[in-house]
Amino acid sequence: MENTAEDTKGTDVAVKGEAAIKPEFLTTKEKFHEFVDSEWQGSKSEKASQNDTDEEATETCVDEPEAKKLKLDPEEKQKAWKSDNKRLRGQNKSRPHTKPTTYDEKRLCLSVIKDNRQCPFGDKCHFHHDVAEYMASKPSDIGENCYLYDTFGKCAYGLSCRFAKAHTTPDFKTMEKADLVKAFEGRNLVKNNLSKDLQNRLRKRSVAFKKSEEYLKTLSKNRDKKEQQGNASADQTGEEQHVSTEAETQVQNSAQLNSENNLIYYSLSLNKPPPVKTVGPLTDADVIKLRPCEKKQVDFQDKLYLAPLTTCGNLPFRRICKRFGADITCGEMAMCTNLLQGQQSEWALLKRHESEDLFGVQVEGCFPDTMTRCAELINNNADVDFVDINSGCPIDLVYKKGGGCGLMTRTRKFEQIVKGMNYVLDVPLTVKIRTGVQEKCSIAHKLIPEMKNWGVSMITGKCLSLHGRSREQRYTKLADWDYINTCSKLASPIPLFGNGDILSYEDAMKARETGVSGIMIARGALLKPWIFTEIKESRHWDISSSERLDILKDFTNFGLEHWGSDTRGVEKTRTFMLEWLSFMCRYIPVGLLERVPQKINERPPYYIGRNYLESLMISQNVGDWIRISEMVLGPVPKNFSFLPKHKANAYK
C-alpha cells in the first residue's frame, strides 16, 4: 500500500488509503443505502405517471464493487494463488453490452423525416412510413423543450426526436425558427467529418500517399545498403566500413531534388523542354518543401492539457472541460489501420468542436508504413494542431502486437515511425510515453536522449508527455514525479508534460516545481472537470450538488447535439454519461473533508452528503448512477443494462 496521507495542516495523518471524512457525516453501508433508497422511492411515489420506474431501476441495478483489498505480502499472495489457481478477470471482460440500436424497435424512414420525400427503396424499405402509426408506438417524450430546436432553430431528427412536442404541429409537421436557422447557416461547428468520397477511396485503396512513399523508399534503400555492406564486411574490418545514416540519405535525396529543380528552372529560362516531365506550369508548392522550422508552431509552455481518454474523452466531455479552462484537448486514441480503412466509427474520434482552439489527435500503431500513411492522411484531410503518437497504452490488445508501450522496447521501429510521421506532417508531432514496461525497470530516461538524435528539437514542434507509471503498475501506485523531474531535465529544450495523480491545485503546484513545461490531467478531470478552474484560480472549489447536476445537464445537451436526440442518440448519451459517473462518484466534496485536498488514491468510507442529491452522487452503486441519468434523460428502456467499462483500481 502506498503512503498517501500527508500532514499538511498540522492534523493527524489519516489511515493509509482512506480519505479523512468529518465524523458527523460518517455512516455504515446499510444506513447509507437505506437513506438513498428511501428518499428516492418517496420522491417517485409522488409521481403517479412513473410508478413502474422503480421496478425497472431495481432490475437494472448491479451490486456495487467490492471494497478494495489490501495488498498481500509475497508469501500470502502465493498461498492465495495456489488456493484459487485462477486469475481474476477485469470488469471489461465479458461485460454485458447492449447496442443503442436495440432500444429503438420501430424507426421512422429518413425520407419521412426529411420533409416527406419519396423513399428510394419503395416497398423494400424496412422502416416505417406511416407517421400516425409510428407516433402511436413511439416512446413518450422526455421533456417539453428540445435543445437542438431552441439552439439552432431546427431539429434534424424531426418526428423521431424524443423532444418532438417542442417543434411538431398537430398535423405532424416540423417547425423551424427562421432567425436561428439563418444565424447558423454555413457555420461548421464540428470539423474532421469523414466524407463519403474519401471513405470510398480509402476502401478501394485509391488514395495516394506521395510523401509517405518517398520516406518508405529511403527505408528500403537504407535496408538494401546495409545488407550489401553487411556482406562486404566479411572481407573487411569494421573500422574500414562506412555506413551512411538515414539522415545522410535524406540530405542526398533533397540535394538531388534541388538539383533537378534548378535544372528545370534553367531549361525554362532557355525556352527548352525540361529534362523532367511536368504537368502544367511549376509553382512554389511544386518545388519548395516545407522546412521543419516553417512548420506550424504550437506554444505548449505552461498549458493545462486534457489527456486523451478512451471512452470518456469524447467530444461532449471535452467541451465541458474547455468551459472550465482546459488549454489543450486531444481526441481519443484512434487505431491507424482503422483510419486507413475508412471506418466511420474510428474517424468519429477525430472530430473537433469549434470551441477546441488547440486540438490534437492521438494515433496508435506499430509499423512505420501504416503510421506514416495515417499521418499523411490526417495531415491532408483533418484540421488539427498536432498529432500525438500513443506509446504509453498498457492494454494487452495493443501491447502484445507491439503498439502502445511496446514501442518503447522497439526503438528501431519507434525511430522510423517518429521520423516518418515528422516527414509527412505540417503540424507538430508529440509523443506520449510511460516510465517503462516493467515496474522496477524505467527506460524513459534512456529513450528521451535517443529521441533528440532522431531529429527532435524545438523547431520541429516536438513535445513529449510522460506518465509517471510503468505498464505493469497501471494505476495501483502513485506516479513517480521525481523521475518525471529527471526526464524533464534530459528532455530540455524539448517541452515535456508531466502526467499522474493531479487532483487539486496543490498537486499542480508541486508538479510545476519539478520543471515540467506543462501538466497533463486525466483521471483528475474525470473525477472533477472543474479542476482546471481550481488550478488557474489557485483555490479549492466546494462545488454544490446542484452545480454538478447542471454540469451533467450541459453534458446531456452536448451529447444530444453530437449523437442525436432520437432514441439511439439519447441512449448513447446515457451510456457515456454512466461511464463518466463511474469516475465522478469518487469525488469527495471539499466541505466534508477533515483534511484538504483529496488525494486521487484515497478511497472514502461510507458517508452521507449534506443533502440527498449529494448523497446520491457519491454512491458507487450502478443503480444510483442510472437514477441520476433518469433525472436528465428520462426513464431507461425496459431492456436496459449497464456495467462500467473501467474498473477503478487506484486505491491500493
Residues whose CB falls within 8 Å of the CB of residue 484, separated by 6 or more in sequence, listed in order: 466, 468, 496, 498, 500, 514, 516
Cα separation, 553 vs 386, in Å, equals: 31
**Taking each helix axis from N to C terminus, what angle separates 368-381 and 411-424, rounded to the nearest 10 degrees?**
20
Residues pairing with 305 in the sheet: 328, 520
Tell me the residue length of the chain.
Answer: 652
Is 393 annotated as catalytic? yes
Contact between 215 and 424 under an 8 Å Cβ cutoff? The reply is yes
Using a 10 angstrom Cβ sphere, with 0-12 exposed, 13-18 middle and 19 or more buried, the burial of residue 264 is middle
Residues 6 or more apart whose CB falls under 8 angstroms from that of 38 comprise none
Q: What angle do CA 567, 570, 572 make, to 5 degrees?
A: 105
CA gap 460, 586 in Å, rounded: 40
Grid coordinates of 166: 417542442
SS3 content of the chain, % helix, strand, coil (to 5): 45, 10, 45
Q: CB-based burial of residue 146 (10 Å sphere; 0-12 exposed, 13-18 middle, 19+ buried)?
A: buried
Indicate the angle between helix axes 545-563 and 567-584, nearest 10 degrees: 140
CB 419 within 8 A of CB 431: no
d(CA 60, CA 56): 6
Chain centroid to CA 325: how far?
17
Instruction: Give the distance, in angstroms, between the CA of residue 321 and the centroid of all CA atoms in the same chain.
Output: 12
* Beta-strand relationship, 463-467 and 496-499: parallel
Q: How many CB atoms lie within 10 A of CB 646?
A: 18
For residue 9, what are the contacts with CB-CB under 8 A and spacing of at least 6? Answer: 595, 596
Q: What is the dihedral of CA 166, 170, 174, 178, to 10 degrees?
A: -70
The residue assigned the cell 407517421 is: 131
Residue showing cell 529521441? 451
Whether the Cβ atoms of residue 53 and residue 635 lie closer than 8 Å to each other = yes
At 208, the amino acid letter reads A
State the CB neighbour count (10 A cutoff) for residue 297: 13
Catalytic choice (109, 366, 393, 487): 393
- The residues that are catalytic are 393
